[in-house]
């Protein structure tokens, strides 16, 4: 008995002690400060509001007060109910916000907001003013249908015109039919009426008419083994690549006018179970054509390989708490690289040969330098292919993951590669980076909010680039969560993640830690990762249909930024005109500009090189000699044209080069497309579609292209009349008529597209001026035609006349693009293009008309926009006595032997023009007409002239015989427009430079 009493006493003591210990543990262990930074994101429309996707229910937040005073804050749950918590002082000025006594409720989102003067102590949260956090819970997938749902076990037929054949399915109006169709896809319909013929009239139900409860919480990843085991995956990838616009553009660029060969494909697919990712390597090998590849004749005996490697991993976090509380995010892990290589197309080639041994004299490659130069040329061609967003994308395959526990809910993904390159490099191009990027959307208090994570990378960037480079490449996934169909509930996430690099170095680098100031003469290097995404969502409930669309602005996260050596970094050569015209096989050499980066000033600048310091070579290898600024092409030069490469040996010991095209026959039509804003500003439109039609027949286009990253496009055509149709997503389509002369490089007007928000009726106006004195003309009849440059055919039902000051106003016209016609007795009928907007009237569509001339007189009229303020007309030539003359603002009249030969009637110094030169007598020799940007005369890097909207019109007698638009996006203060010969023949030149044309 004593032993039993002693044992019971010991048990009692231990029990009391244990109870005291447990109580003390609960008292002192009140929670955790820790959270996983990978679960931290930022709301993109409120950068001071952060989002923790997953935290423990006993999380503690430490905050700091600027003044050691009482702490205040706000804490609410999903329903905006205030949550009461305790705080405790941790140190001077620091407080802990403790969890509720029972902990936070699992699966619920809370919002913690801090007032001014209070901030989070955690480094990752230092910029947050408010924090939304979601409490972690066990993975769950469950649902309950409403009482209205009728589940159907047999295949449900397709709905035609809102009518469903229900057969023997017993339903009433208001019931929800739920089941699968013949393709085993889930379908759902709401019955609005049961018809007597065995059919029912149906519509789409709201989500809360289908489910009374819906809860999905967990992380979903793809099964890489299941994907790779698909025997058709390699075939699917190859077919998708072949169908991409990138591949079709690649083949056209590689083989030009020749019949394209079938590229050889090698696809390697390797799963990585540890990382749950798939590595895909695609090699496209192009065999040489008769004329080489990519316009490089040296590649007749070489094949070109383009290798794109990507490692893709994907996980999706889903948190659905009830009918409307949705939260979905996608984490994309990527590793991307891009490489160009050239190898001999012979049986003797061996894979283990080094580069130095690959090439021999007979195969055009004498050494490694020649190899690098040709890789550079190919890369420049690829730059153009990847410049527009669509052309740079290659779809690989689709993936779909249904959630078996919740019928109708599934995730799907479309995997794409993309690349945007702007590289002037002389070595093999390749870049590699591994990143993880999360983008998501959640529903908080009756509204969608988009969020994305901060940058993380598991390793350093690796690059092999030399020279000037701007590169973006990576993975793009279109990730979608769908509940039965898009009309009921869906969330689309379109994240893009990849590498960007802005660098200027003198030799290839391998790893960041190898860079130091002793490795090279100079460098500037900023590598990093950029992210972007488009997010769309629909959630259809009975009380309201919630819709959300958001474009995440591209974000850049530099990994490092290094600058060593020179203040000016050599970047390369450029030419101020990509295409020039040869006359009788004589070429006026365009300005060759040396580009450099001013590290201190943070800007790019150019320096015009002396042609004596530049060497010129035709694409067939012929060396060309410059004489007085001109090159005479050899007789054997191809009749259509030639590419000329200019090379320059810099003081750094490196040779830089650039290429321009010389047209001998045929014509070119070039232009630039921009978005027009109501504040009269413009922005380049990359990826706009430009269709070229013959004449006015717009049934079948002759050619269709996309604008490049500068908004530019170009067609090789014969002389004739053409119609351009320009379109872009989100913008109103514009149609423009164009007339191209024989052997002309024709520039269109700057194409300006208005966005689709413009609708209904609008107004526009301007002033019609006399070309001789710049004064407004009264009683001018104004008529309109649809589209631009439309000078024939039916008029719109609108007509007005100018006021005493020459003003005209167009009112209550449908929004759109129009051609204005201005006519008055005794004047040559004139035309201008206008835009009619609904929300901002433009009243500066000014233009001129000229009095009718004598049959042998020629008049040249210059007009332009608001900037620059002062453009000057110049007529330059030689006199019969072999002297020179220049008609311009300082010498307005040219007389010879007492006879007035030409004069400047108007000199406008305050924008718009006109500036008018009239040739009164027969021309002696050849005259040159040019425009000088007087406002920016002291700037060698100005592009203001090219963006001035300048137009030059030429009249002979009572007819306009020519019209020239200024070339856009070019450096220079002189626009040499044309030459005119004694017989009146006008030869277009259309080049911009910093050099005044000679007589």
| CB 469 within 8 Å of CB 425 | yes
pLDDT tens readout for residues 325-356: 666 665 555 554 556 666 655 433 333 333 33
Among 233-237, 299-303, 947-951, which is the least confidently predicted range?
A: 299-303
Beta-carbon contacts of residue 565 (< 8 Å; ≥ 6 apart)? 517, 520, 521, 522, 523
Q: What's the CA gap between 282 and 708, in Å, rounded? A: 25
pLDDT of residue 957: 86
- 359 falls within a domain: yes
Q: What's the CA gap between 645 and 619, in Å, rounded? A: 7
Output the domain CATH number for residue 643: 2.60.40
Average of per-residue pLDDT across 161-166: 90
**Of residues 415 and 793, more confidently modeled:** 793
- 797 falls within a domain: no
User: Does the pLDDT at position 228 exceed 50?
Assistant: yes
User: Does the pLDDT at position 273 exceed 80?
Assistant: no
Average of per-residue pLDDT across 719-733: 92
pLDDT of residue 445: 56
Q: What's the CA gap between 783 and 146, in Å, rounded? A: 64
User: Does the pLDDT at position 61 exceed 50?
Assistant: yes
Run of H or E residues at 861: strand 858-863
Q: Is the peptide bond before 868 cis (omega within 30 degrees of 0)?
A: yes
Q: What's the CA gap between 954 and 185, in Å, rounded? A: 66
**Of residues 870 and 597, more confidently modeled:** 870
Q: Which letter, b or e, does each residue of 562-588 get, where b requires 16 or more Cβ atoms within 10 Å of its Cβ?
A: ebbebeebbbbbbbbbbbbbbeeeebb
Residues 192 and 79 in one domain: no
Residues 106 and 239 in one domain: no
pLDDT tens readout for residues 239-264: 877 877 667 777 777 777 677 777 78
Nearest CA to 712 out of 666, 739, 667, 748 is that of 748
User: Does the pLDDT at position 424 exceed 50?
Assistant: no
**Of residues 850 and 535, more confidently modeled:** 850
Please state, for a pLDDT cut of 70, what percent of the chain lies above it: 65
Output the domain CATH number for residue 671: 2.60.40.10
Q: What's the CA gap between 218 and 569, in Å, rounded? A: 51
- 804 falls within a domain: no
User: Does the pLDDT at position 950 exceed 70?
Assistant: yes
pLDDT of residue 575: 82
Average of per-residue pLDDT across 959-981: 89
| DSSP codes joined into one string, 427-489 | S---EEEEEEEEEEEEE-SSSEEEEEEPPEESS--EE---EEEEEEEEEEEEEEEEESSTTTE
**Of residues 64 and 185, more confidently modeled:** 64
Q: Following CA atoms 836, 837, 840, 843 in sequence, which dihedral angle do they give, to the nearest 10 degrees?
A: -10
Average of per-residue pLDDT across 460-487: 40
pLDDT of residue 68: 61
- Burial (CB < 10 A; 0-12, 13-18, 19+), residue 704, is exposed
User: Does the pLDDT at position 951 exceed 80?
Assistant: yes
**Of residues 687 and 289, more confidently modeled:** 687
Average of per-residue pLDDT across 190-197: 91
Residue that terminates a domain, selected from 636, 663, 690: 663
Structure tokens at 723: 């119609």
Residue that terminates a domain, selected from 706, 736, 753: 753
Residues 381 and 293 in one domain: yes
Residue that terminates a domain, selected from 718, 735, 753: 753
pLDDT band at 559 (very low <50, low <70, confident <90, very high): very low
Q: What's the CA gap between 610 and 617, in Å, rounded? A: 16
pLDDT of residue 931: 95
Residues 492 and 559 in one domain: yes
- Mean pLDDT, rounded, of the chain: 73
pLDDT of residue 885: 93
Residues 153 and 58 in one domain: no
pLDDT of residue 275: 66
Residues 72 and 168 in one domain: no
User: Does the pLDDT at position 388 exceed 70?
Assistant: no
Residues 420 and 317 in one domain: yes
* Residue 669 CB neighbours (<10 A): 21
Of the ranges 517-526, 752-761, 817-826, the best mean pLDDT one: 817-826
- 828 falls within a domain: no
Q: Are strands 522-540 and 489-505 parallel, antiparallel or unpaired?
A: antiparallel
pLDDT tens readout for residues 199-208: 999 998 887 7
Total number of domains constituting the chain: 6
User: Does the pLDDT at position 179 exceed 70?
Assistant: yes
Per DSSP, 755 falls in state B
Average of per-residue pLDDT across 53-81: 85
Three-state DSSP state, 26: helix
pLDDT band at 373 (very low <50, low <70, confident <90, very high): low
pLDDT band at 375 (very low <50, low <70, confident <90, very high): low
Residues 618 and 672 in one domain: no
- 842 falls within a domain: no
pLDDT of residue 625: 92
Residues 51 and 167 in one domain: no
pLDDT of residue 396: 58
pLDDT of residue 574: 79
Q: What's the CA gap between 573 and 593, in Å, rounded? A: 6
- 814 falls within a domain: no
User: Does the pLDDT at position 787 exceed 80?
Assistant: yes
Residues 444 and 557 in one domain: yes
Average of per-residue pLDDT across 884-894: 92
Of the ranges 103-107, 309-313, 510-514, the best mean pLDDT one: 103-107
- According to DSSP, the residues that pair with 725 across neighbouring strands are 691, 735
User: Does the pLDDT at position 848 exceed 70?
Assistant: yes
Of the ranges 133-147, 502-516, 780-794, the best mean pLDDT one: 780-794
- 183 falls within a domain: yes
Q: What's the CA gap between 737 and 694, in Å, rounded? A: 10
Average of per-residue pLDDT across 118-139: 86
Residues 468 and 545 in one domain: yes
**Of residues 493 and 888, more confidently modeled:** 888
pLDDT of residue 479: 42
Expressed as residue numbers, the domain containing 736 is 667-753
CA distances to 203, 257, 628, 986, 995 from 879, in Å: 84, 46, 21, 19, 22
- 531 falls within a domain: yes
Of the ranges 226-235, 671-680, 847-856, the best mean pLDDT one: 847-856
pLDDT tens readout for residues 612-625: 999 998 877 889 99
Of the ranges 299-308, 712-721, 826-835, the best mean pLDDT one: 826-835
User: Does the pLDDT at position 178 exceed 50?
Assistant: yes
User: Does the pLDDT at position 836 exceed 60?
Assistant: yes
Residues 267 and 362 in one domain: yes
The helix-helix angle for 245-255 and 233-243 (nearest 10°) equals 60
The gap from C-alpha 288 to its chain's centroid, in whole angstroms, comes to 32
User: Does the pLDDT at position 106 exceed 70?
Assistant: yes
pLDDT of residue 533: 47
pLDDT of residue 144: 82
pLDDT band at 602 (very low <50, low <70, confident <90, very high): very low
Output the domain CATH number for residue 872: 2.60.60.30
């Amino acid at each position: 008995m004593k032993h039993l009493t002693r044992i019971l006493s010991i048990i009692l003591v231990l029990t009391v002690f244990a109870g005291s210990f447990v109580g003390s543990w609960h008292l002192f262990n009140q929670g955790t400060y820790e959270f996983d930074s990978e679960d931290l994101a930022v709301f993109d429309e409120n950068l001071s509001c952060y989002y923790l996707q997953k935290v423990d229910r006993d999380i503690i937040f430490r905050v700091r007060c600027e003044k050691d005073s009482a702490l205040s804050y706000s804490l609410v749950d999903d329903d905006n109910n205030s949550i009461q918590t305790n705080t405790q002082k941790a140190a001077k000025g620091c407080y802990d916000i403790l969890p509720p006594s029972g902990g936070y409720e699992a699966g619920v989102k809370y919002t913690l907001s801090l007032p001014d003067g209070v901030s989070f102590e955690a480094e990752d949260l230092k910029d947050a003013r408010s924090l939304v956090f979601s409490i972690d819970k066990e993975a769950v997938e469950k649902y309950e249908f409403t009482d209205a749902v009728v589940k159907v076990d047999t295949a449900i037929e397709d709905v035609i015109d809102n009518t469903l054949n229900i057969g023997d399915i017993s339903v009433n109006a208001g019931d929800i039919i739920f089941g699968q169709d013949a393709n085993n896809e889930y379908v759902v319909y709401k019955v609005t009426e049961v018809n007597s013929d065995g059919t029912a009239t149906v519509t789409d139900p709201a989500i809360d008419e289908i489910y009374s409860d819906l809860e999905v919480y967990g992380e979903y990843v793809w099964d890489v083994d299941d994907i790779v085991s698909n025997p058709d995956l390699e075939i699917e990838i190859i077919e998708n690549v072949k169908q991409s616009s990138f591949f079709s553009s690649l083949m056209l660029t590689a083989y030009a006018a020749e019949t394209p060969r079938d590229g050889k494909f090698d696809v390697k697919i390797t799963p990585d179970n540890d990382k749950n990712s798939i590595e895909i390597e695609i090699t496209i090998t192009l065999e040489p054509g008769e004329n080489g590849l990519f316009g490089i004749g040296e590649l007749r005996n070489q094949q070109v390989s383009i290798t794109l490697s990507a490692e893709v991993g994907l996980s999706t976090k889903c948190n659905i708490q009830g009918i409307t509380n949705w939260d979905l995010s996608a984490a994309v892990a990527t590793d991307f690289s891009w490489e160009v290589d050239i190898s001999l197309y012979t049986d003797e080639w061996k894979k283990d040969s080094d580069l130095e041994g690959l090439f021999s004299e007979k195969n055009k490659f004498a050494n490694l330098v020649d190899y690098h130069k040709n890789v550079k040329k190919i890369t420049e061609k690829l730059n153009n292919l990847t410049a527009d967003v669509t052309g740079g994308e290659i779809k690989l395959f689709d993936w779909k993951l249904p959630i078996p526990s919740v019928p109708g809910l599934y995730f799907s993904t479309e995997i794409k590669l993309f690349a945007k390159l702007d590289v002037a490099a002389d070595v093999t191009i390749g870049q590699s980076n591994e990143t993880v990027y999360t983008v998501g959307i959640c529903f908080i208090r009756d509204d969608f909010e988009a969020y994305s994570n901060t940058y993380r990378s598991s390793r350093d960037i690796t690059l092999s680039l030399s020279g000037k480079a701007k590169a973006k490449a990576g993975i793009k996934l279109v990730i979608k969560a769908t509940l039965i169909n898009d009309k009921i509930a869906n969330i689309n996430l379109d994240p893009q993640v990849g590498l960007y690099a802005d660098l200027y170095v003198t030799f290839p680098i391998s790893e960041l830690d190898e860079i130091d100031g002793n490795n090279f003469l100079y460098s500037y290097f900023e590598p990093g990762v950029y992210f972007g995404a488009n997010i769309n969502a629909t959630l259809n409930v009975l009380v309201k249909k919630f819709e959300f669309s958001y474009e995440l602005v591209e974000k850049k996260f530099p990994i490092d930024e290094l600058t060593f050596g020179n203040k000016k970094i050599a970047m390369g050569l450029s030419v101020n005109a990509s295409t020039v015209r040869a006359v009788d096989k004589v070429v006026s050499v365009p300005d060759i500009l040396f580009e450099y980066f001013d590290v201190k000033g943070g800007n790019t600048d150019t320096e015009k090189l002396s042609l004596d310091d530049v060497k010129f070579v035709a694409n067939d290898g012929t060396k060309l000699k410059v004489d007085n600024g001109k090159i005479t092409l050899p007789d054997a030069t191809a009749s259509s044209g030639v590419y000329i490469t200019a090379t320059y040996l810099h003081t750094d010991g490196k040779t830089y080069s650039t290429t321009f095209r010389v047209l001998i026959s045929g014509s070119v039509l070039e232009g630039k497309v921009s978005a027009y804003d109501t504040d009269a500003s413009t922005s380049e439109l990359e990826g706009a579609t430009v269709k070229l039609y013959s004449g006015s027949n717009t049934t079948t286009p002759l050619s269709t292209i996309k604008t490049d990253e500068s908004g530019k496009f170009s067609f090789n055509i014969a002389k004739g009349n053409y119609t351009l149709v320009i379109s872009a997503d989100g913008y109103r389509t514009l149609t423009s008529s164009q007339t191209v002369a024989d052997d002309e490089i024709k520039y269109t007007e700057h194409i300006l597209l208005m966005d689709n928000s413009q609708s209904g009726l609008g107004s526009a106006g301007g002033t019609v001026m006399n070309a001789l004195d710049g004064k407004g003309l009264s009683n001018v009849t104004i008529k309109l035609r649809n589209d631009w440059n439309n000078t024939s055919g039916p008029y719109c039902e609108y007509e007005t006349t100018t006021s005493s000051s020459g003003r005209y106003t167009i009112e209550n016209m449908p929004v759109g693009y129009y051609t204005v016609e201005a006519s008055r007795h005794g004047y040559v009928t004139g035309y201008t293009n206008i835009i009619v907007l609904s929300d901002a009237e433009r009243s500066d569509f000014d233009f001129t008309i000229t009095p009718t001339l004598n049959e042998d007189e020629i008049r040249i009229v210059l007009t332009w926009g608001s900037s620059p303020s002062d453009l000057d007309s110049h007529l330059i030539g030689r006199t019969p006595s072999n002297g020179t003359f220049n008609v311009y603002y300082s010498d307005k009249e040219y007389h010879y032997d007492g006879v007035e030969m030409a004069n400047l009637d108007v000199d406008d110094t305050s924008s718009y023009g006109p500036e008018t030169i009239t040739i009164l007598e027969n021309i002696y020799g050849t005259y040159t007409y040019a425009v000088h940007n007087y406002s920016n005369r002291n700037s060698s890097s100005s592009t203001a002239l090219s963006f001035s909207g300048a137009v030059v019109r030429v009249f002979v007698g009572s007819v306009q015989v020519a019209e020239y638009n200024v070339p856009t996006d070019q450096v220079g203060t002189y626009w040499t427009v044309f030459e005119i010969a004694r017989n009146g023949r006008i030869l277009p030149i259309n080049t911009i430079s910093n050099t005044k044309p000679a007589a």
